[in-house]
Each structure stands twice: as structure tokens, then as C-alpha cells.
């Protein structure tokens, strides 16, 4: 099986077993590298994003624990996934990701670093902001809701609803050595608050009371915005 065949199968699965709605696809660049930063609720999220983006250079950072599972390993190899050890600062994986982005590829990434066990946003790591700075590519935020519990509903042939909203490119501060950690954290919070602003309230988790999220929600509520 090749990438295009896998893409077609993924799209058919989501068409048959789920009711997926997507808004904001016009924000996705047709060419060139970018980071697609998404919240992570379910194992459905990566194949969903893969199915939605009609480009042949979409891949993702994948926890290396899945190398132990032949089926998952096979799928990840087809899409040129980049294995990462989530238990440490995996600089080798980050360099591969940086080079992939500089080469014009699309990298899906969950800033939280793992699936949320709470059903809402958890505290993100700074790796996405770091990669954006090192690769020089834009960050596009995307918010997924409805995938939590969706697999079981699909198995019961209930066709659960899933919504994906894609936002505008996030403007990030340049990272300077003298304030590196603070800027990485600021940029990470900006990415996560952009995602949170596109989610229903119950999904906003640890960012629900973040001052930047409140600014974004207030701006979005104004007429003509």
C-alpha cells in the first residue's frame, strides 16, 4: 500500500462511520512547510488530520512506543512518521522534524505531547514553539471536538459527529537567547489559547481561565470578527 491509497481508505472510513464537519480549510497553505498544531483527545485524531489534508507530504511526530505494534508501525512507515521518545528531550527527533519542515513538508503535532485523559486541554510542552522557531515555518492551529468516545459509537454504527476547526496562522515572538524560556512559554500559551478559543467551553481545560484566551474570546465576540 502507498500513501495515496492509505489516504483514500482513511477518507472513506471517516465518511462511512462518522459525520465529520470541517471549517477554515482555506487557512491551510497549499504549498510549503507548516506546523499543524492540534489538541489530542483520541487515537482517531492523527488519522483524521491525515484524511482531511490533501497533500502528499503530511506526517507527524509519533510516540516510539507504537513501534512495538506491527500494524501501527507499518502505517507510520507509509506516511514517513517521525518517531519520538516522549520521556525525554529527543533532540534527534526534533532535528528530523525541523529538517522535514524546512524541506517543505507538513507536520501534524499535538503541543500537549500526549492524549488528554481528562477530555479537555492539558498543559502543553514547548516543543511546538521550539520547532516553529528552528524551522521558520508558520504554525496553523486546529481544534478537534467529538473524537473522545467516538470509536465506540462508530462500532455501534451510530456515526458520531466530529468537528474540526482550522484557525489563522499564529503570530509568534522571535526567540532570543536572553529570554529564551519565557518566550517559548509565551508562544506555547499563544498556540494553545488559539486552539482553546475554537473549542466548546468544556474542552478548554487548564487554559479556560488564561488571560490570553479571555482576550481572544472577547475579540471574537465583537461584531464583524
- For the segment 87-137, what is each residue's pLDDT rounded down to a tens digit? 777 889 999 999 999 999 999 999 998 999 998 999 999 999 999 999 999
Minimum mean pLDDT among 95-99, 169-173, 186-190, 218-222: which range? 218-222
- For the cut 90, the answer to whether the pLDDT of residue 68 exceeds it is no
48-84 burial by CB neighbour count: b if 16+ within 10 A, else e? bbbbbbeeebbbbbbbbeeeeeeebeebbeebebbbb
Cα(75)–Cα(46) distance, rounded to whole angstroms? 11
Cα(57)–Cα(128) distance, rounded to whole angstroms? 19
Q: What average pLDDT does this structure show over 172-176?
A: 89
pLDDT, residue 225, reads: 63
pLDDT, residue 159, reads: 94
From 142, 149, 127, select the one nearest 41 (Cα to Cα). 149
From 76, 81, 138, select the one nearest 104 (Cα to Cα). 138
Q: What is the pTM of this model?
A: 0.93
Q: What average pLDDT does this structure show over 55-83?
A: 91
Which of the four pLDDT bands, split at 50, 70 and 90, describes residue 63? confident
From 128, 137, 156, 141, select the one nearest 198 (Cα to Cα). 141
Hey, what domains does the chain have and what are their CATH numbers? Answer: 3-220 (3.40.1130.10)
Q: What contacts 20, CB < 8 A, 6 or more positions away?
A: 14, 48, 52, 161, 162, 163, 164
Cα(67)–Cα(48) distance, rounded to whole angstroms? 20
Which tens digits make up the pLDDT trace of 16-38? 999 999 999 999 999 999 999 99
Amino acid at each position: 500500500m502507498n500513501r495515496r491509497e492509505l489516504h483514500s481508505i482513511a477518507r472513506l472510513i471517516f465518511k462511512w462511520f462518522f459525520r465529520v464537519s470541517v471549517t477554515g480549510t482555506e487557512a491551510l497553505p497549499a504549498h510549503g512547510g507548516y506546523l499543524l498544531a492540534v489538541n489530542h483527545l483520541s487515537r482517531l485524531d492523527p488519522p483524521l488530520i491525515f484524511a482531511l489534508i490533501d497533500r502528499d507530504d503530511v506526517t507527524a511526530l509519533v510516540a516510539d512506543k507504537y513501534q512495538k505494534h506491527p500494524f501501527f508501525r507499518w502505517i507510520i512507515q507509509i506516511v514517513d512518521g517521525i518517531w519520538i521518545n516522549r520521556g525525554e528531550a529527543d533532540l534527534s527527533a526534533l532535528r528530523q522534524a525541523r529538517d522535514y519542515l524546512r524541506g517543505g513538508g507538513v507536520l501534524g503535532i499535538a503541543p500537549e505531547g500526549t492524549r488528554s485523559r481528562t477530555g479537555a486541554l492539558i498543559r502543553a510542552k514547548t516543543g511546538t514553539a521550539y520547532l516553529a522557531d528552528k524551522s521558520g515555518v508558520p504554525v496553523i492551529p486546529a481544534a478537534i471536538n467529538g473524537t473522545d468516545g467516538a470509536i465506540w459509537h462508530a462500532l455501534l454504527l451510530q456515526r458520531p459527529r466530529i468537528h474540526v476547526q482550522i484557525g489563522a496562522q499564529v503570530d509568534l515572538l522571535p526567540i532570543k537567547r536572553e529570554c529564551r524560556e519565557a518566550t517559548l512559554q509565551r508562544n506555547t500559551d499563544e498556540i494553545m489559547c488559539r486552539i482553546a478559543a475554537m473549542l466548546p467551553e468544556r474542552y478548554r481545560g487548564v487554559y479556560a481561565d488564561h488571560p490570553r484566551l479571555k482576550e481572544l474570546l472577547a475579540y471574537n465576540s465583537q461584531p464583524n470578527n
